[in-house]
Structure 1
Amino acid sequence: MRKKIKGTKNRPRLFVFMSNKHIYAQMIDDTSNRILTSCCSNSKEIKKNLKLSLNCKTASILGKDIAEKSIYQGIRQVVFDRGNKLYHGKIKAFAEAAREAGIHF
């Protein structure tokens, strides 16, 4: 997927990865190969509010969190990179929460 999707400084790539236990999200600028901001479900501030670390509620909290971090940096437009995952379930909950928080993709 990353061969086709490129992020720039003005419109970075929002990459979502799910392991067996956690969800990770990163804003990546591919032109300068930098990670602008990131969040994950095993961070302390997210972990204290949740019992499970891999469900739709966690995904929506992460979507809102990364949207707030990116808006603080002045980023409102992104390219959504979901990897090889279907737009369903946790990925959909993450994307909808990010959109509700003010990110456009």
Structure 2
Amino acid sequence: MSVEKNIARLRRAKSTRAHIRNLGVARLSVLRTGQHLYAQVFSSDGSTVIASASTLQADVKDGLKSNKNKDAAAKVGRVIAEKARAAGIEAVAFDRSGYRYHGRIKALADAAREGGLKF
């Protein structure tokens, strides 16, 4: 990824996070790398991580052919929804971190919705 693309992505993420901060709800944040996908649910003030899931975790890796495809993203979405609901979180704001709502990001969001989270 070129430096310019990353700067543009971070600029988009900054404006989204400012809007989410005004909403005052928990935030489901996603980080996408070439090899893995990470998801975290932050409290409404952003100070604590309530739940987290990634393709590095053994329970997520089980049965996956690859860590970097839509199937892996969907599994991360299901796990993060399960952990967030166990912590008492029903509704979140989806912070896609400036990534396009497409591919792995969309697969994660759809699986989290199916898991019971409301965006």
TM-score (norm 1): 0.90
1-structure distance, mates of 2:82, 2:46: 22
Higher helix proportion: 2
Listed as ranges, the gaps of 5+ residues in structure 1 are none
SS at the partner of 1:5?
helix
1:57 — aligned with what?
A: 71
1:68 — aligned with what?
A: 82
Rg comparison, structure with higher value: 2
1:5 — aligned with what?
A: 20
Paired residue type of 2:61: K
1:24 — aligned with what?
A: 38
- Compute the RMSD of aligned alpha carbons: 1.4
Deviation per residue, 1:54-78 (Å, 9 max, x gap): 1000011110100011111111100
TM-score (norm 2): 0.80
Aligned length: 103
1:34 — aligned with what?
A: 48
Report deviation, 1:51: 2.0
Task: Give identity over the alignment, percent.
Answer: 38
Report deviation, 1:48: 2.4
